[in-house]
Structure 1
Amino acid sequence: MSVLVVGISHNSAPVAILEKVARDSEGTGKLIRDVADNEHVAEATVLSTCNRIEVYAEVDRFHGSVEAISRLLLETAGGVPEEFVPHLYVHYDDGAVSHLFHVASGLDSMVVGESQILGQAREALRLGQESGTVGPALNSLFQQALRVGKRSHAETDIDRAGASLVTAALDRATDHLGRTQDLKALVVGAGAMAGLAVATLSRGPASSIVVANRTTTRAQRLADQYGGRAVGLVDVAAEVAEADIVITCTDSVGVQLDVERFRAARGDRRPVAIIDLALPRDVDPAVGAEPGVH
């Protein structure tokens, strides 16, 4: 038995490809179970973030396993699978171990050194354990990777590269706006990424924060922690009209803010920074071409 990794990430594919293979939490759970059901797979889990989706499996056969896992990974993509295959990467045995250690250390992240990946790796382990598809091999591998990741942050200066993707994006946003304080912020979503965004905003540039989510009770819990205000997704357009910074990070499939709604909301064309951290994208790409949008 050897460990196999089949994945696709920001390093191997553009956003247009990544969002077609992205899955919500239910879809990720299904992928784990489907991979584990393969006759050549003894253990399996999935590491899914806004910039990558990777299947980790203990397998008894390389070629048959790669083919089957690749097919399962791409089944949500639509179109011709051959178009997506070149964007996949494969790591096996020692290469798979090395890859996960690099990922957990933040060395493979879009923002090198970001620490959020540790929580995401921990979540991948938890999902596999809850699904009953992680056994001794993957449990040991992920536990070691988490220790390596923690040591890399504790014993090196890798953190100087950036605490998270959110921090890096906010730095760019405030540069574009020419302001670093008293900004009105809207965060769309209430998951882990949204929580990180709200916490980061509250420590720095935001004088007011609005959290919008499909489930308003979740939005309210997050907003209450940082003195913010909660609204439903139906109110996003109205809140966009007042915001200086908009951060979107839902796990929904489909656009949450299209260009028509944006134009109707932002008639004054004031500068606004929009940070779309979701996969698939929450914001219509056409919004980026609108006047005043950074």
Structure 2
Amino acid sequence: MSLLVVGMSHRTAPIALLEQVALSPEGALELAAAAHRREDVAEAIVVATCNRTEVYVDAHTFHGGLAQVGESLAEVTGVPLDTLTDHLYVHYEDRAVSHLFSLACGLESMAVGESQVLGQLRESLASAQQQAHVGPSLNPLFQHALRVGKRAHTDTAIDEVSRSLVQLGLDRARTVLPDPRQARTVLVGAGAMSGLAAATLARVGVTDLTVVNRTRERAERLAATHGGRAAGWEHLAELVGAADLVLTCTGSVGHVLRAEQLAPSRAGRSQPLAVIDLALPRDVADDVAALPGVHVWGLSDLTGQPDGAGPAVPDAAAAPTPTDSRQVLQQVQDLVTGEVAAYLTERRAQQVGPTVAALRARAADVVDAEVERLAQRLPELPQREQQEVRRTVQRVVDKLLHTPTVRVKQLVSDDRGDYADALRQLFDLDSRETATVSTPPRLVPPRGEESA
């Protein structure tokens, strides 16, 4: 089996392409199901955020899994595989584990150290569990990744290093607004990113906040948490047109703010309007920026990522930072390195376990066969003596197997050789014997999924 991750993020693809492959929660489910149905894929999890789409699989073969995940991506996103290929990254085995752990710690994020990704990973795992797309490979891997991410935020000062995209947007807004704290502010959306935005606005001192969302109840909950007020979706254009500052991050497919909607409410207004579009795909149409006094900043403006084809965003962890920030980032990287080593050691120990179990089962069969042969040759031997002979033979076998089985478990942390395979070769163990104690049945998706 091969652990494999195939993905695309803000580091490898332009914003315009990321918009094309951005997936709704339903789309992520569809992609996971499409990958899981493939012949070479045993388990699958899709991580789809505003700036990345990744597919994690446990594949029977590397090349087969890679090809089939690529086909699934093209099928579900509608983007030709030839277009995707130049911007996809592939991580395999140890590097796949390291990538996931780094992602959980926020080292792969646009805003280094942000903790929102932890919730996104947790939701991805929960979704895959509900759909029976994960098992003994990906389930413990993601559980471990979540623990690593939590450690990064509790054991290091990574939270103090990160500057959220919201904060970056507010920095831009200050170029046109005298004091964002006094701005009439509208927050469009009430999801996880909106929650982060509302918390950031409250922290910097924004007091006039209106939350607009298609589901009024969610808007009311978010507004109440941060001292704002809620409004219905039908008032969106009116509220945005009268605002000084707008942050939008709905996760909708398609624009929610267009010039034709805002033009009536902006008519006759001279005060500037700062719009921070944190969504991918973008919530704000290009023509909005053409309205008088309206200034729009999207993710490409906040991160330096081009909208069209061009170089990937530089590694955020390598960007110039104060000395103390670099030290914190190094602490987190060291944490990831240690956790990757611990995870791989544990996994190798688990992988050698079935071989050891098969070896001991083979030994037990040999003992049974020899004792049975003895009983046939010496039928007059009393039962008590037969049992003593069995115990004696078993003790001899156990002592002979003790050193190699203990030693192989000690050596699993050494990745210079496949010691489990050496055991199978030395003792002529049939691979099918090992499979009976190591391979669970292929996961079957819930009824109806295959036709979804």
Whether the aligned pair in 1 keeps the contact of 2:10 and 2:51 (CA below 8 Å) is yes
Residue in structure 2 matched with residue 285 of structure 1 by the alignment: 286
% same residue: 51
Instruction: Output the TM-score relative to the length of structure 2.
Output: 0.61
1:37 corresponds to which residue? 37
Q: Which amino acid aligns with 1:280?
A: P
**RMSD (Å) for aligned C-alpha atoms:** 1.9
d(CA) in 2 for partners of 1:75, 1:276? 28
Cα deviation 1:50-75 (Å, max 9, x = unaligned): 11111111111112211221222233
CA contact (8 A) 2:105 2:150 kept: yes
Larger Rg: 2
- Distance in 2 between residues matched to 1:174 and 1:186, nearest whole Å: 16
| Secondary structure, counterpart of 2:86 in structure 1 | helix
TM-score calculated relative to the size of structure 1? 0.92
Residue of structure 2 equivalent to 1:156: 156
Q: Identify the residue that residue 182 of structure 1 maps to in structure 2.
A: 182
Structure 2 residue aligned with 1:238: 238
Counterpart Cα distance in 2 of 1:25 and 1:183: 33
Secondary structure of residue in 2 paired with 1:7: strand
Equivalent pair of 1:114/1:165 in contact (CA under 8 Å): no
Distance in 1 of aligned mates of 2:160 and 2:78: 40
Q: Secondary structure at the match of 2:211?
A: strand
Q: Secondary structure at the match of 2:169?
A: helix
Q: In terms of mean alpha carbon deviation, does 135-144 or 199-208 score higher?
A: 199-208
Contact 1:114 1:161 in 2 (8 A): no
- Alpha-carbon shift at residue 79 of structure 1 (Å): 5.4
* Amino acid paired to 1:216: R
Displacement of 1:163 in angstroms is 5.2
1:253 equivalent in structure 2: 253
Name 2:276's counterpart in structure 1: 275
Give the SS at the match of 1:8: strand
Kept after mapping to 2: 8 A contact 1:45/1:57: yes
> How far apart, CA to CA, are the structure 2 residues paired with 1:167 and 1:146?
25
Secondary structure at the aligned position of 2:174 is classed as helix
Give unpaired runs (5+ residues) of structure 2: 297-452
Deviation at 1:76, TM superposition (A): 4.5
Q: Point out where structure 1 has 5 or more consecutive residues left out of the alignment.
A: none
State the 1:290 CA deviation. Answer: 4.2
Distance 1:274 1:261 in 2: 15
**Secondary structure at 1:206 match in 2:** coil
Match of 1:48 in 2: 48
**Alignment coverage as a number of residue pairs:** 294
Q: Which residue of 1 aligns with 2:192?
A: 192
2:173–2:180 contact (8 Å) kept in structure 1? no
Greater CA drift, 262-271 or 57-66: 262-271
1:259 CA drift (Å): 2.3
1:177 Cα offset (Å): 2.2
2:262 is matched with 262
Give 1:184's aligned amino acid: R
Q: Please give the residue correspondences for 1:202-213 in structure 2 after superposition, counting only pairs within 5 Å.
A: 202-213=202-213
Secondary structure of 2:208's counterpart equals strand
